[in-house]
Amino acid sequence: MIQFQLRGARRLSLCLAAALAVRVQAQTPRLRVAVYPFTQSAVESVLQKEGIGNVNYGQVAADLLVSQLVSQADVINRDQMQRLLEEQGRRYDERFDPSQAPEFGKLMGVDAIVSGSMTSLTAEQSNSSGAGGLANAFGGILGRKLPKTSTDNTTVTVRVQLVADVISTITGKILASYRGDGEVKKQIAGKIQVNDQGKTDTSSSKSGYDPYIREALQIAVTAIGKNFSTVYADAPRASNKPPEPTANPEYVALPGEIGNVFRADGDTLTFFLAPGAKIVSGDVLEVQHPEIARNPRTGRTTAIGQPLGQLKVTQVSGETGRGSYHGKPATDQDRLVKSETAAPAPNQRPSPAK
């Protein structure tokens, strides 16, 4: 009876502890995390040897980790990071610099960044029976490379290792480092073609290391994802929302201004839209250069626009857009104005009245 009561009390205490952990996690604001692609420079030679150097397994690992973490945190992937950075005039780079964590945290509105690498990869095949196995064995003894050989049974073994760092965008410090190991070992019934360089012949329906590498990556990523909960509760939070656009009190807009030129590439202009501005492809906008002047009577600052040319909008995506431009050279200091009737571009004569 006493032993039964002790067991019951132990089970009750475990249940209470689990319920308390769930309650604490529910009360803790969700962590917002950006996951960068894992670098694979350490295993590039192996990938090239096996003829799969064109596959970005670092991105595959990152995508798998995003899927693993969505139940624990608010995760943004490569495409979302690229969009957020481009909207703020920054270029996305898959090679993440840890020293830029605080700056990128503000730009992307995240509390932490996960960056890692694929530190090792091995892919092997062993033949357990058939003439092909004996031929390979004698070839190794004699030191000669043999042509394609067939075996009846092949064992494929793939091992990968991933290392991931969780970097706080609040402090710039590494909050945790995790290692994930994945191993896949499978015996394939039937014949498989192997050439003298260790590459797999893609003409065989059962050839190719790719599916086994992906399966091993999934195992390694799952191990990292399980450990992620250890850093979840203690990670500093700044904001659980993407950065909101804020108004610059010193900015003086032109009358009717609808956007700003971000980049001028000859006859193509890329621009930012003003908050609340609505335009569609095909709209024609005036490009003006602002001159800031202070009214001596009122003391108020105003912007006077000097017409440069016209922009026909060809693409709009979120807060950014692009269009074809005709007129005097424009720069990133110029503004866009939408009007009922756009003035003719400089150096152009208006059409004669009929």
The amino acid at residue 133 is G
Query: For residue 346, what pLDDT is reported?
Result: 47
Thinking of the domain 257-337, which architecture would CATH place it in? Beta Barrel (2.40)
3-state secondary structure the chain: CHHHHHHHHHHHHHHHHHHHHHHHHHHCCCCEEEECCCECHHHHHHHHHCCCCCCCHHHHHHHHHHHHHCCCCEEECHHHHHHHHHHCCCCCCCCCCHHHHHHHHHHHCCCEEEEEEEEEEEEEEEEEECHHHHHHHHHHHHCCCCCCECCCEEEEEEEEEEEEEEEECCCCCEEEEEEEEEEEEEEEECCCCECCCCCECCCCCCCCCHHHHHHHHHHHHHHHHHHCHHHHCCCCCCCCCCCCCCCCCCCCCCCCEEEEEEEEECCEEEEEECCCCCCCCCCEEEEEEEEEEECCCCCCEEEEEEEEEEEEEEEEECCEEEEEEEECCCCCCCEEECCCCCCCCCCCCCCCCC
Decide if 32-123+156-185+205-232 and 257-337 have a common fold: no
Q: What is the pTM of this model?
A: 0.53
Residue reference for tokens 């969700």: 30
Contact (CB, 8 A) for 209 and 185: no
By C-alpha distance, which of 24, 98, 32, 97 is closest to 69?
32
According to DSSP, the β-strands at 257-265 and 268-273 are: antiparallel
- d(C-alpha 340, C-alpha 252), whole Å: 22
- d(C-alpha 60, C-alpha 77), whole Å: 12
Q: Which residues of 15-52 are buried (b: 16+ CB within 10 A; e: fewer)?
A: eeeeeeeeeeeeeeeebbbbbbbbbbeebeebbeebbb
Six-digit token string for 207 = 């050839």
| Per-domain residue ranges of the chain | 32-123+156-185+205-232, 257-337
Radius of gyration for the chain, computed over Cα atoms and rounded to the nearest angstrom: 30
By C-alpha distance, which of 2, 203, 30, 225 is closest to 109?
30
The tens-digit pLDDT sequence of the chain (354 residues) is 444 344 444 554 444 444 434 444 445 678 889 999 999 999 998 888 877 878 899 999 999 999 988 888 889 888 888 888 877 777 888 778 888 888 888 888 899 999 999 999 998 888 776 544 444 443 444 344 444 445 467 888 999 999 999 999 988 899 999 999 999 998 876 544 443 344 443 333 333 788 999 999 999 999 998 888 778 777 888 754 455 555 566 788 898 899 999 889 889 999 999 888 888 999 999 999 999 888 888 888 889 999 999 999 999 887 889 999 999 999 999 999 986 544 444 444 444 444
Specify the CATH superfamily of domain 32-123+156-185+205-232: ABC-type transport auxiliary lipoprotein component (3.40.50.10610)
Q: Report the 10 Å Cβ neighbour count for 343.
A: 14
